[in-house]
Structure 1
Amino acid sequence: MSKLPNKWLVVVSVLFGTFTVILNNSMLNPILPRFIEVFDSNAVSVGWILTIFMVSMGMTMPLTGFLGDRFGKKKVYLAGLCLFIFGSISGLLSNTLAMVIVSRAIQGMAGGLMMPIAMALIFNSFPKNERGLAVGIYGISVMVAPAIGPTIGGTLVQYLDWPWLFAINIPFGLTGLFLSAKFLKPTKKDPMKKFDLAGFLLVTFGIGAILYSLGRGRTVELLLDPVNLSLIGAGLAAIVAFVFYENRQEDPLLNLSVFKVPTYTASILVTSSASIGLFSGIFLLPLLIQNVYGLNEVMTGLLFLPAAAASGLFMSLGGRLLDKKGPRYVVPPGLAIMALASIGLGFLELSTPFWWILALNTIRGVGMGMGNMPATTSGMNSIPEHLVAQGSAMNNIIRQMSSSLGIVFFSIYYEVRRAQLAAAPDVDQQLATLQTLNEAFLVSAAVLLLAIPFSFILKGVQDDKTKA
């Protein structure tokens, strides 16, 4: 490994940690029914295992810009990784549901520190014209882990037991900690930097309230619950107040001036749409495979593996093309490929063979690899270097909210539309489910198609050279 250039050792180091964080979260998604059985609990209580992670992660992310500037990005990343290992050990040793939930909260805080800082560390190590490939390699953790996590989680629980879902993190986390301590370079720090307490309270309450509401609002009744609606309203009000407050501060917690850069703003819109497309597939395809075609969890897992491989491969190729040609040659085609494959999934029939669904999902993976991380890289390249950590934090926060919103939307759409179709006389339940899922994939494709015009706003380092 010492033969690798130092900048690539940075990518390898942060890849270990971030991949483990995202993989752990996706492994737990299909295992919740097991926790209901183990702890003799209910779906609402067990749902906190996922909700608390999402909320604590989202509430921690706004801090990363300040902490990175104040203490140095390497120290913050290492602290986050140590915290994640501690949360994994706590989860491994848990004997109550409450302790599992507390452990997940600790893991969420750790992820909130690690994810934005990891991107900033990579950007600090590479020049602008090489960041596409670097972020493409790193992006494997962001894109591939959610795809393979359910398969790994299901296998662990089937052959071992649920504590292994936490135990598996520890060796990977310790490896990442060793590599990061050895190969990450210390960054500049500003011991005099002041903490924006009022801004922190406003943004964390706003993000926390919205993510919590989305996390529990997986049905129409829960989403429209007065408490839920009140939390969403209060969260939105807090974020609006945060924007007005931050724009008047000389040293804000999050510098919102980055949104004045068209490429950065367009990249946020594009990656949000791509995240909705990604998580729509992660949510809808298991329902399709198991409820419509009657296949088991193993076949569901197999459906995602080629897509994950394609996403990782084309993320690297897309990053290289981004560095050479610019985002317009990568992102719009990527979104178009993903949208077309989603349209294909919108016209499935009961007689459709498994291999065709596998092929369409693999093509979706190709489009995701080309469309997501290159858009993020071009957006981050467009903002001043000293705001990279803050820009990365905001990118991750909005991506998290978009993913949550997408899952909530498709959960409710599936519930309401399926019930509507199934209520008609002489309607086959299997056909009603298939039609609902077909429509949902077409909606997902529409979201991706709407993002394509914005992807042409993206500019790369090649455009800067032309201006110069």
Structure 2
Amino acid sequence: MSAELSAPTSGGRTPPVIRVLVLATFVVILNETIMINAIPRLMEDLQVTERAAQWVSTAFMLTMAAIIPTTGWFLQRVSTRRAYATAMGIFLAGTALSAVAPTFVVLLLGRIIQAGGTAVMMPLLMTTLMTVVHEHDRGRVMGNVTLAISVAPAMGPVISGLVLQIGSWRWLFVLVLPITGVVAWLGLRQLENVGEPQAGAIDWASVVLAALGFGGLVFGLSRFESTNLTSPALIVAAGVALIAGFVFRQLSLQRSGTPLLDLRVLLAGTYTKALVLMSFAFMAMLGSMILLPLYLQKLRELSPLETGLLVMPGGLAMGLLGPTIGRLFDRFGGRLLVVPGSIGITAALGGFTQISMSMPYWQLLGLHILLMVSLAATFTPVFTLGLGALPQHLYSHGSSMLGTLQQVAAAFGTALAVTVMSARGDSLVAAGTDAITAHLDGMRLAFLVSAVLSLIVIVMALLLPNRAAAHDESDESETAAPELIKG
């Protein structure tokens, strides 16, 4: 094994460890959206209802939300190679189980295991990047990360649409299995350990509170419907209460220096602003990602494959522009990118409020590309600015919190969009409006809500600095830490 890396490297080339982790992250994130088009096939082959079949995606998201809060502690306790081997091994096991699943319950278990491996990969990639890449090169390298995390979800529905045209849903896992195996093997051959693992016992009460709290919150949000608000609201309230217990537990554990999720990351002002911006951007993005396919398939009657092909250029543009945006960030700073990007997000969502049954597809394509490019111009700098404002010993915890809130924001954005759309559509139908007009109006209102949420992204973009003052923020977090512990 090569010598351990401890100091950030600079020189215009992406470190091999990051290339390996980006490739692995691309493969595992691809699976988060690859089952979207397979729901009808699952209903037929495994004899389950549509609501039950949706759990192949919901369970993946729930597992991510439950596990990611623990990754900050985990990544500080094991070597890079062991974390990578654990994540890829778990993902491979889940993929193999899903491919041969004889029943829906076994398939669901396989998806949960898959998600367990995926939950470790993204924080591992972010933490390693911040450790081994010099501050002046982080934007460029983070751009490559953006390529992986944005192109993979965009390609999932397209790939699944193509596979389902010629084969069973099981091939979605069978084809991924050897690719994952090769990536895991290459990674273990080339991967170097970064930093030294730290000693420390795990607090199981925190694990339980995090899993039930964040998992319960995402589950409750995923259950919202216009005709069923009470029970999901109670589940969300219970999740919030458990999260509050988790927060108090972490504040207590910080006295001994072994919290599961170190909340001192919130004392870095730039990181906290970046966290808020990313959360609202994810809410707006995921709301639109659920609405646009519904509009194209339910109202414009496109096939899942046609829908995937229409939204694919936006996802590809977002990913392929990532490295360029990263280089611009390294040269000019964040404000030149984040402020126009946040305005572009609002403009695109505002454009979607004008959808109709006759809107040309080229306009829809243009709006979607504008949205994705604007998100790329926002995400890469904000990731870099936020994590760059933290001291090195908090990178893993900052990555963990960022990943956790992404899952919560995604669930909230989806729930809000679907609930607003359904409530508006149902009320218009009850008033005598025809179903198509009612559903179209509901979608317009849901897009409007997403556009309004995105205004907060603009506000936070204006508050972010052009560069992350890492040393000042670090000193501030160290000196202010006793205040948060007492809090």
Report the TM-score, using the length of structure 1 for normalisation.
0.93
One-letter amino acid matched to 1:360: L
Partners of 1:14 and 1:462 in 2: CA distance: 24
Partners of 2:212 and 2:451 in 1: CA distance: 33
Query: Do the aligned residues in 1 keep the contact of 2:157 with 2:305 (CA within 8 Å)?
Result: no
Spell out, residue by residue over 1:154-206, the C-alpha distance to the aligned partner (whole angstroms, 9 max, x if none). 22112111111111221221232123213322123345322222222222221
Query: Do the aligned residues in 2 keep the contact of 1:19 with 1:142 (CA within 8 Å)?
Result: yes
Partners of 1:6 and 1:99 in 2: CA distance: 43
C-alpha deviation, 1:292, in angstroms:
2.6
Q: Matched residue of 1:247: which SS?
A: helix
Matched, 1:394 2:401: yes
The residue number in structure 2 matching 1:444 is 450
> CA 1:328/1:230 → structure 2, altered by over 3 Å: closer, same or farther?
same
> CA 1:193/1:209 → structure 2, altered by over 3 Å: closer, same or farther?
same
Task: Write the mapping of 1:126-145 to structure 2, written as runs, cut at 5 A.
Answer: 126-145=133-152
One-letter amino acid matched to 1:248: S
Task: Write the mapping of 1:333-412 to structure 2, written as runs, cut at 5 A.
Answer: 333-412=340-419
Find 2:32's aligned residue among 17, 22, 25.
25
One-letter amino acid matched to 1:234: A
Partners of 1:240 and 1:342 in 2: CA distance: 33
One-letter amino acid matched to 1:130: D
Partners of 2:190 and 2:342 in 1: CA distance: 35
Matched, 1:239 2:243: yes
Spell out, residue by residue over 1:48-79, the C-alpha distance to the aligned partner (whole angstroms, 9 max, x if none). 22222122222221222222211123311221
The residue number in structure 1 matching 2:202 is 195
Find 2:97's aligned residue among 90, 109, 127.
90
Spell out, residue by residue over 1:302-322, the C-alpha distance to the aligned partner (whole angstroms, 9 max, x if none). 221110121113322222222
C-alpha deviation, 1:248, in angstroms:
2.2
> CA 1:90/1:443 → structure 2, altered by over 3 Å: closer, same or farther?
same
Query: Do the aligned residues in 2 keep the contact of 1:262 with 1:457 (CA within 8 Å)?
Result: no
Matched, 1:459 2:468: no
Spell out, residue by residue over 1:413-468, the C-alpha distance to the aligned partner (whole angstroms, 9 max, x if none). 1211111222333x34322222222222221111112221112222354756999x
Tell me whether 302-311 or 67-76 shows the greater mean CA deviation: 67-76
Partners of 1:273 and 1:74 in 2: CA distance: 34
Partners of 1:464 and 1:404 in 2: CA distance: 31
Find 2:336's aligned residue among 329, 333, 348.
329
Query: Do the aligned residues in 2 keep the contact of 1:14 with 1:176 (CA within 8 Å)?
Result: no
Question: Structure 2 regions of 5+ residues with no counterpart?
Answer: 1-10, 474-487
Tell me whether 187-196 or 145-154 shows the greater mean CA deviation: 187-196
Query: Do the aligned residues in 1 keep the contact of 2:274 with 2:383 (CA within 8 Å)?
Result: yes
> CA 1:93/1:328 → structure 2, altered by over 3 Å: closer, same or farther?
same
Tell me whether 193-202 or 395-404 shows the greater mean CA deviation: 193-202
Tell me whether 312-321 or 114-123 shows the greater mean CA deviation: 312-321
Query: Do the aligned residues in 2 keep the contact of 1:77 with 1:118 (CA within 8 Å)?
Result: no
Spell out, residue by residue over 1:107-163, the C-alpha distance to the aligned partner (whole angstroms, 9 max, x if none). 111111112111112222201121111111112222122222112112211211111
Query: Do the aligned residues in 2 keep the contact of 1:148 with 1:304 (CA within 8 Å)?
Result: no
The residue number in structure 2 matching 1:300 is 307
The residue number in structure 2 matching 1:68 is 75
Question: Structure 1 regions of 5+ residues with no counterpart?
Answer: none
Matched, 1:211 2:215: no
Matched, 1:110 2:114: no
Spell out, residue by residue over 1:19-49, the C-alpha distance to the aligned partner (whole angstroms, 9 max, x if none). 1222112011232121111111112322322
The residue number in structure 2 matching 1:248 is 252
The residue number in structure 2 matching 1:177 is 184
Matched, 1:224 2:230: yes
RMSD (Å), alpha carbons: 2.2
Partners of 1:363 and 1:71 in 2: CA distance: 41
The residue number in structure 1 matching 2:155 is 148
Spell out, residue by residue over 1:96-115, the C-alpha distance to the aligned partner (whole angstroms, 9 max, x if none). 11110110110111111112
Find 2:130's aligned residue among 117, 123, 134.
123
The residue number in structure 1 matching 2:316 is 309
The residue number in structure 2 matching 1:433 is 439
One-letter amino acid matched to 1:219: E
Query: Do the aligned residues in 2 keep the contact of 1:156 with 1:164 (CA within 8 Å)?
Result: yes
Find 1:41's aligned residue among 45, 48, 54.
48
Query: Do the aligned residues in 2 keep the contact of 1:337 with 1:364 (CA within 8 Å)?
Result: yes
Partners of 1:223 and 1:49 in 2: CA distance: 23
Query: Do the aligned residues in 2 keep the contact of 1:280 with 1:407 (CA within 8 Å)?
Result: yes
Query: Do the aligned residues in 2 keep the contact of 1:213 with 1:223 (CA within 8 Å)?
Result: no
Tell me whether 49-58 or 362-371 shows the greater mean CA deviation: 49-58
> CA 1:5/1:184 → structure 2, altered by over 3 Å: closer, same or farther?
farther
Spell out, residue by residue over 1:201-238, the C-alpha distance to the aligned partner (whole angstroms, 9 max, x if none). 222221121122223x142344422xx44432222111
Identity percentage over the alignment? 28
Partners of 1:192 and 1:459 in 2: CA distance: 35
Q: Matched residue of 1:416: which SS?
A: helix
Partners of 2:349 and 2:90 in 1: CA distance: 38
One-letter amino acid matched to 2:136: N
Query: Do the aligned residues in 1 keep the contact of 2:60 with 2:115 (CA within 8 Å)?
Result: yes
One-letter amino acid matched to 1:54: M
Query: Do the aligned residues in 2 keep the contact of 1:291 with 1:430 (CA within 8 Å)?
Result: no
Find 1:421's aligned residue among 422, 425, 428.
428
> CA 1:25/1:464 → structure 2, altered by over 3 Å: closer, same or farther?
closer
Partners of 1:237 and 1:400 in 2: CA distance: 18
Partners of 1:47 and 1:430 in 2: CA distance: 24
Partners of 1:10 and 1:462 in 2: CA distance: 24
Report the TM-score, using the length of structure 2 for normalisation.
0.90
One-letter amino acid matched to 1:418: G
**Segments of 4+ in structure 1 off by > 3 A?**
4-8, 220-223, 460-467
Spell out, residue by residue over 1:248-273, the C-alpha distance to the aligned partner (whole angstroms, 9 max, x if none). 22221111011111111111111112
Tell me whether 160-169 or 63-72 shows the greater mean CA deviation: 63-72
Query: Do the aligned residues in 1 keep the contact of 2:154 with 2:316 (CA within 8 Å)?
Result: no
Query: Do the aligned residues in 2 keep the contact of 1:290 with 1:296 (CA within 8 Å)?
Result: yes
